[in-house]
Amino acid sequence: MNIENIRPKVKNESDKYSWNLYKFLSRIIKKNKHIKDQLRIYWNHHSRWDGEHLPFSKDLSNGLQVVIDPYGGRSCGYFMNTVLLKGNCELFSLSSWRKEDFLDITDWFFDTYEQIGRCIFDLEHNGWMQGADERYTYVNNTRKCNWCGEWHHRKIKKITTIKRKELWIKE
Ligand SMILES: [Zn+2]
């Protein structure tokens, strides 16, 4: 993983890549060069909503279930979604977590992130992201995602809603 490959073009601005994630990772690596080889990314099977088992999903949905472990020993980590939002966040202890709840996705993560950028956190392309003005190129009724290269068609969907109304019927 070469950190410079995921550096946004303009300082302090996210584009295909997140500025916060870049800044966060480069700060960790700058402190200790060996950490680059130790740093692990995990999928956390333990749902942060309800504690249920969550199978790995390629749609990382804002990184809520993704943990960055800077030292690779599963002793402490950071939540990816907080890193993306704030850049700066608190290290928390992983020692009481169950080993079975961690799935190492480091290589997959960096390969995919380098390829498709922040679309890794919004595969459905439904979310709103900071600095996403340049995400799409629109051509008539289609658009191309400039980050992952996907094409989408515009479709108008009719949504019917059901209203409840109280009526009094003559007996
Ligand atoms: Zn995309």
Report pLDDT for 132. Answer: 80
Ligand 1 ion: Cβ-proximal residues, 5 Å cutoff: 119, 145, 147-148, 150
Segment 49-80, tens digit of pLDDT:
898 999 998 988 788 899 999 888 888 899 99
Distance in Å, CA 59 to ligand 1 centroid: 12
Strands (E), the chain: 40-44, 66-69, 76-79, 92-93, 102-104, 136-139, 142-145, 151-153
The mean per-residue pLDDT over the stretch 14-40 comes to 87
Distance in Å, CA 91 to ligand 1 centroid: 30
The mean per-residue pLDDT over the stretch 92-97 comes to 84
Distance in Å, CA 148 to ligand 1 centroid: 4
Binning pLDDT at 50, 70 and 90, where does residue 40 land?
very high
Distance in Å, CA 130 to ligand 1 centroid: 14
Q: What is the mean pLDDT of the chain?
A: 90
